[in-house]
Amino acid sequence: MIKILTIEREYGSGGGEIAQLLATKLGWKLWDELLTEEIARLAECPKAVVECREEKRDPLYYRLFKSFLRGSYEGSLNAHKLKLVDSECILGFTRQVVNSAAETGNVVIVGRGSQQFLKNRADTLRVFLYAPRGEKVRRLIARGKTEQEAEERVDTVDRERVAFVQKYFHVDWPDHDVYHAMINTAIGDTAVAHAILDLKSMLEAAA
C-alpha cells in the first residue's frame, strides 16, 4: 500500500500546486511550506533563514567563514556558543522531519531530498515533474514575476539543486533510477495529478 508520495520538481514546473492538488484529492497531509516551518522550529531560527538554505550548498563566503571559525583559536573556544544554521544542519533536520512524516504516513512531501531519504521504502511513490522552459517562465509570470525575473529564476534555481544533490547524495539530478515516473507538467495540473493517482492504483494492485 502506497502511503507516501514524494514530488521532486524543476523550478517553475508547478510541483507545489500539483502536490497540493494531490494532497487534497487523497485527503493527505502536505509537507511543503509546513516542512520548512518545522525545520525552522527545530533549528530555532526564522523560517526565512531555512528558505535561503534549503536544497542549496552554502555559498562560498559562508563556507570560508565556517572554515575560519573552526580553524581559529577564538572560534574553537567559542564553538559551543555558535549556532550556524548552514546547509548541513538543515539537511539533518530535513532528514529527521521527512522520516517522521513517512512513519506517520498518508503524506505528500515536496522536494528537499525526500526522494533520496525514502528511496528504499516500498510504501513510497516517487515522481519527478518537469516542463519546457517556456512553460515554466509562463507559470512564474502568472504568479507575479516579471519576464526577466522568471527567466533568471528558471535558469538558476535548478543549478543549485543539481549541486545540492550531487554534494549530499552523490547522484545526478534528476536521479532517474530513484523515480517511478517523470511527467511533463505541460499536459496540465489536473492531468498530471490523475496520472500520478492512476500509477498509485496500479502499483498497489500489482503489489
Each of the 207 residues of the chain gets a pLDDT tens digit; together they read 999 999 999 999 999 999 999 999 999 999 999 999 999 999 888 898 888 888 887 654 444 444 544 554 444 444 444 455 678 888 999 999 999 999 999 999 999 999 999 999 999 999 999 999 999 999 999 999 999 999 999 999 999 999 999 999 999 999 999 999 999 999 999 999 999 999 999 999 998
**Collapsing DSSP states into helix, strand and coil, what is residue 189?**
helix
184 bridge partner residues:
130
Residue 98: what pLDDT?
98
Helix (H, G, I), strand (E, B) or coil at 126: strand
Domain-wise residue ranges, the chain: 4-206
Query: Residue 45 has what pLDDT?
Result: 87
Q: What is the pTM of this model?
A: 0.87
pLDDT of residue 207: 84
Amino acid at 53: R
- pLDDT confidence of residue 78: 44
Alpha-carbon gap, residue 81 to 37, rounded angstroms: 24
The pLDDT value given to residue 85: 67
Query: What pLDDT is attached to residue 4?
Result: 98
The 8-class DSSP code of residue 44 comes to T
Burial of 62 by CB count in 10 Å (0-12 exposed, 13-18 middle, 19+ buried)? middle
Beta-bridged to residue 127, according to DSSP, are: 7, 181
Q: Which amino acid is at 7?
A: I
- C-alpha cell of 189? 495540473
Question: H-type helices in 15-146, by residue range?
Answer: 15-26, 33-43, 47-53, 60-71, 73-77, 87-104, 114-117, 133-142
Cell of 204: 498497489
Question: How many CB atoms within 10 Å of residue 95?
Answer: 16
Q: Is the peptide bond before 174 cis (omega within 30 degrees of 0)?
A: yes
* Strand-pair partners of 181: 127
CATH number of 4-206: 3.40.50.300
